[in-house]
Amino acid sequence: MSETALRLTGKTRVLAVFGCPVEHSLSPAMHNAAIRALGLDLVYVPFRVEPDRLRDAVAGIRAMGFLGVNLTIPLKEQAVSLVDGLSPGAARVGSVNTLWWKDGSLMGESTDGPGFISSLEEAGGLPTTALVLGAGGSGRAICFALADRGVRIILANRTPERARRLAEEFGDVNVRVIPMDAEALREACREADLVVNCTSVGMSPNIGVSPLPPDALKADQTVYDLVYNPPETRLLADARAAGARPIDGVRMLVHQGAYSFRLWTGVDPPLDVMEAAVMEGLKKEA
Ligand code: NAP
């Protein structure tokens, strides 16, 4: 990673992430690494914003002319009503993780879906049938992104009602809900050329557990785990053992960040520099 210092001048523009908590966010390290590598006169700063102060914080973006902002838990849904406009993707998903300026209007975008699709394309292309595990915030974004590209979806969630409600939003698009039990998951895995974990199962500190029985996975499959801490989850280790292609959540984090970065700056950021900064941050946390 480049050790060059950030250029901070009287013209420095501010990027930020708002969250609560925000202290563990890897986005400042990731974006500042890209800013340094490109020699841009920008700085990316974390701000702890309580949900009841989000309206004030968004007014602050406007008053102080921040160039752009990321939003993280628990502010992503609330921010939808505070922007001047939404991308069609963000409007459907009902949450925003990126605020950016377009022709003087503060726009809301959800970059998880586009970032996920870019990382799949980078890894070889889109699937025909995807087994999506999880119908929370990220499961929602992933289902919309896949359905938009005509991918058939099999959806399982610990709380089945939440999966059914999400599936209903797709109308006549092919989203099939199955129970989250071992036999139903094994059967779905036989059909799916992509398996995506959008649950928090396997995330630190509860590492070593997988949302799928290991014998469900097969060699001609891509297995994507959105969990990025740790980068090598039990699910991905099982995928490797089965001969499947693993993709970790760090790659998605980098791609969704890169998508935001492009909206803010119009510049393609160096993905490998961003990934190295995330890995460094994860090592420090471990
Ligand atoms: P969320 O909205 O809170 O949803 C959590 C999901 O996990 C729900 O589907 C929940 O099921 C399920 N779940 C939680 N504990 C479970 C358990 N013990 N067994 C089975 N299912 C369980 O969270 P999210 O924002 O979607 O995030 C999910 C994961 O994705 C997190 O690890 C997050 O760090 C990761 N993520 C990564 C990226 C990236 O860029 N790599 C981006 C976004 C999210 P119920 O509905 O039954 O509660």
Neighbours of 272 (CB within 10 A): 12
User: By three-state DSSP, how is residue 47 classified?
Assistant: strand
- pLDDT tens digits, residue range 12-47? 999 999 999 999 999 999 999 999 999 999 999 999
Q: What's the 202 CA to ligand 1 centre distance in angstroms?
A: 10
User: Which sequence positions are flagged as catalytic?
Assistant: 76
- pLDDT tens digits, residue range 168-216? 999 877 899 999 999 999 999 999 999 999 999 999 999 999 999 999 9
Same fold, 3-110+252-285 and 113-247: yes
User: Domain boundaries in the chain?
Assistant: 3-110+252-285, 113-247
2-37 per-residue burial string, b: 16 or more CB within 10 A, e: under 16? eeeeeeeeeeeebbbbbbbebeebbbbbbbbbbbbb
Residue nearest atom 17 of ligand 1, based on CA coordinates: 201
- pLDDT tens digits, residue range 93-131? 999 999 999 999 999 999 999 999 999 999 989 999 999
Residue 60 confidence (pLDDT): 98
- pLDDT tens digits, residue range 245-272? 999 999 999 999 999 999 999 999 999 9
Mutation test of ligand 1: which of 97, 198, 206, 224 has the most ligand atoms closer than 8 Å to its C-beta? 198
Task: Calculate mean pLDDT across residues 61-66.
Answer: 98
Residue 4 confidence (pLDDT): 72
User: By three-state DSSP, how is residue 49 classified?
Assistant: coil
Task: Calculate mean pLDDT across residues 70-91.
Answer: 97
Q: What's the 112 CA to ligand 1 centre distance in angstroms?
A: 13
Half-sphere exposure for 262 (CA within 13 Å, toward CB): 14
Q: Which CATH topology does 3-110+252-285 take?
A: Rossmann fold (3.40.50)
Q: Is the CB of 13 under 6 A from ligand 1?
A: no
Residue 137 confidence (pLDDT): 92
Q: Which CATH topology does 113-247 take?
A: Rossmann fold (3.40.50)
Q: Is the CB of 19 under 6 A from ligand 1?
A: no
Q: Is the CB of 138 under 6 A from ligand 1?
A: yes
Contacts of 219 (CB under 8 A, 6+ apart): 242, 243, 244
Residue 174 confidence (pLDDT): 84
- Which single residue is written with the structure tokens 């991308």? 87
Q: Is the CB of 249 under 6 A from ligand 1?
A: yes
Q: Give the N- to C-terminal CA distance of the chain in Å, as an integer.
A: 19
Atom of ligand 1 nearest to the CA of 256: 40
Question: Does residue 3 surpass a pLDDT of 90?
Answer: no
Atom of ligand 1 nearest to the CA of 140: 26
Which of residues 239 and 172 earns the better pLDDT score?
Answer: 239
Q: What is the mean pLDDT of the chain?
A: 96
Question: Does residue 226 surpass a pLDDT of 70?
Answer: yes
Q: What's the 207 CA to ligand 1 centre distance in angstroms?
A: 14
Residue 1 confidence (pLDDT): 46
